[in-house]
Amino acid sequence: MNPVSSMFDRLRSSEATFHMPVYGRQPVAFARGDGTRLWDTAGREYLDFVAGIAVMSVGHSHPKVVEAIRRQAGMLTHVSNLYYTEAQIQLAERLHELLGWGKVFFANSGAEANECAVKLARRWQREQGRPGRSGLVAALGSFHGRTVATLAATGQPAKHEPFAPLPPELVHHVPLNDEEALGAALDDGIGALLLEVVQGEGGINPATPEYLKAARELCDERGMLLIFDEVQTGLGRTGKWFGFQHAGVIPDVVTLAKALGGGLPIGACVAREEVADAFRPGDHATTFGGGPVPCAAALAVLDVISSEGLVENSARMGELLVAELREALESNPAVKDVRGVGLLVGVELAGEWSRDLVDACRERGLLVNNVRPDMIRLSPPLVVSADEVSRAVTILAEVLHGVAEKV
């Protein structure tokens, strides 16, 4: 038997036996990455337009990130938040510098960063003498994580159903970009509004600048916190350092994760100083959050994003990707829409074919991701080149041509 396929079969059978069956994995195991490329265990090369779900913004195995991880791990790996470490303190300073405001809590994931934001909103409202304002408003179609609170905040009823009942007093959902519905939902029981500036998992749905401005005004008028979940959109993904900079609307709290650690698990909840100071020692904590190794990796990631001009490249390559996709797919009846902000791009299909398309692209050496049955997401590393954009468009157009013939 071919040793590579027997190795893969062993991985698959072991996973089926020893893992909880929550993932519908694709039939490939990866061994190595470099920049925008991945190699599977058989040595086959792929162009990666998934980037570990919008995580590997500086590319796979960036030498500066690898070196920072190696150096920090060789010196000190973990001591917990009972003590100070230099990397964590520096990273908070760096995030403050990038935003121009804020105090940070470091978590281990996007969901945990959002969990912190939800608790902080309650704590802040209590400090204001409004303990009854424990509710949250979030958008339909949103995704905020898989913990109980962040799942409740996620505006996708199908994801709630197997775990009902979720805390019913916690979240009220409104349609995105409907100012009237938002005005009606932000009532006396609500302490905060949680929004993605572009819904990623929900299908690349941008909040309009007008909607974000109205959200800011309503929150100010009614004493509510505006929280932007920039776990997916932050740190250059949309062609600006933060997605909210497109609309010029500053939130009270912003959450980050994904790209921050360059592949190591780290999340950050950053809040305006006066809001952050509502927390008291002991109100919130984590054993691993802000560990020296992920913080050292994050410092290197932020340096690379700056020094290599990756925010600008994201804006340029994002425009090119959308323009080339629109041109290549213009007359394809299988395609309903192409849209994107920076390098967060979606191809909406006229039918539920995205799973098959992911397989067909992978067979041709291109990795893409199906966020919905009718939607393909493209979120390559921000180091992607114009040639690689064209190559991905050619493969996707070829595969979609095959679908169009069957429509």
**Residue closer to ligand PLP, measured from CB, 127 or 348:** 348
Cis amide bond preceding 165, omega within 30: yes
Region near ligand PLP per CB under 6 A, out of 5-13, 224-232, 339-347, 386-394? 224-232
User: Active-site residue 336, yes or no?
Assistant: no
Determine which residue in the list 201, 252, 324, 388 makes contact with ligand PLP, applying CB under 6 A.
201
Task: Select 329 or 368, whichever has its Cβ closest to ligand PLP.
Answer: 368
DSSP string, 29-48: -EEEEEBTEEEETT--EEEE
Here's the x/- map for ligand PLP, 235-274, by CB under 6 A: it reads as ----------------------x-----------------
Q: With respect to ligand PLP, which residue has the nearer C-beta, 249 or 395? A: 249
**Near ligand PLP by CB under 6 A: residue from 33, 155, 200, 261:** 200
Of 52, 135, 141, 145, the one binding ligand PLP by CB under 6 A: 145
Contacting residue, 48, 115, 196, 388, with ligand PLP by CB under 6 A: 196
What type of residue is 218?
Answer: L
Q: Which residue carries 């009606």 as its tokens?
A: 184
Q: How far out from the chain centre does Cα 78 lie? A: 26
Tell me how far, at minimum, the Cβ of 171 lies from ligand PLP, in Å: 14
Nearest residue (CB) to ligand PLP, 47 versus 149: 149
Closer Cβ to ligand PLP, 340 or 388, answer by number? 340
Known catalytic residue at 240: no
d(CA 78, CA 206) in angstroms, rounded, equals 39
What does each C-alpha distance from 157 to 97, 171, 272, 318, 332 come to in angstroms? Answer: 38, 12, 31, 31, 32
> Applying CB under 6 A, does 144 fall inside the site for ligand PLP?
yes
Binders of ligand PLP: how many residues, by CB under 6 A?
15
Give the CA distances from residue 68 to residues 71, 258, 264, 303, 308, in Å, rounded to whole numbers and listed in that order. 5, 18, 12, 11, 17
Pull the structure tokens for residue 323: 């323009």
- Residue 229 makes contact with ligand PLP by CB under 6 A: yes
Give me 79's structure tokens.
């001591």
Q: Cβ neighbours of residue 1 under 8 Å, at least 6 residues apart?
A: none
The answer to whether residues 298 and 90 touch, using CB atoms and an 8 Å cutoff, is: no
Cβ closest to ligand PLP, residue 229 vs residue 252: 229
Within 83-122, the residues that bind ligand PLP by CB under 6 A are 109-111, 114
Q: Tell the smallest beta-carbon distance from residue 23 to ligand PLP (Å).
A: 13
Nearest to ligand PLP of 36, 369 (CB atom): 369
Rank residues 173 and 400 by Cβ distance to ligand PLP and give the closer one. Answer: 173
136: helix, strand or coil:
strand
Write down the catalytic residue from 228, 240, 252, 258: 258
CA–CA distance, 223 with 52 (Å, rounded to integer): 38
Shortest Cβ 342–ligand PLP spacing (Å):
15
Segment near ligand PLP (CB under 6 A); pick from 59-67, 143-151, 156-164, 283-291 = 143-151
- The minimum distance between CB 394 and ligand PLP, in angstroms, equals 28
Nearest 5°: phi and psi at 188? -60, -20
Instruction: Say whether 64 is catalytic.
Output: no
Of 229, 240, 242, 252, the active-site residue reads: 229
Give the separation between CA 255 and CA 91, rounded to whole angstroms.
Answer: 15
What contacts 105, CB < 8 A, 6 or more positions away? 113, 116, 120, 268, 269, 271, 276, 279, 284, 289
In 3-state terms the chain splits into helix, strand, coil percentages (rounded to 5) of 45, 20, 40
DSSP secondary-structure letter at 264?
A: S
Q: Which stretch binds ligand PLP (CB under 6 A): 60-68, 225-233, 336-344, 377-385?
A: 225-233
Min dist. Cβ of residue 39 to ligand PLP (A): 25
Q: Which of 49, 143, 228, 279 is catalytic?
A: 143
Query: Which residues have CB under 8 Å from 102's CB, separation 6+?
Result: 95, 96, 254, 270, 271, 272, 273, 276
SS3 category, 182: helix
Choices 137-145, 220-228, 294-302, 397-405 (CB under 6 A): range interacting with ligand PLP: 137-145
The length of the chain, given as a count of residues: 407
Residues contributing to the site for ligand PLP (CB under 6 A): 53, 109-111, 114, 143-145, 196, 200-201, 229, 231-232, 257
Residue positions annotated with a catalytic role: 143, 229, 258
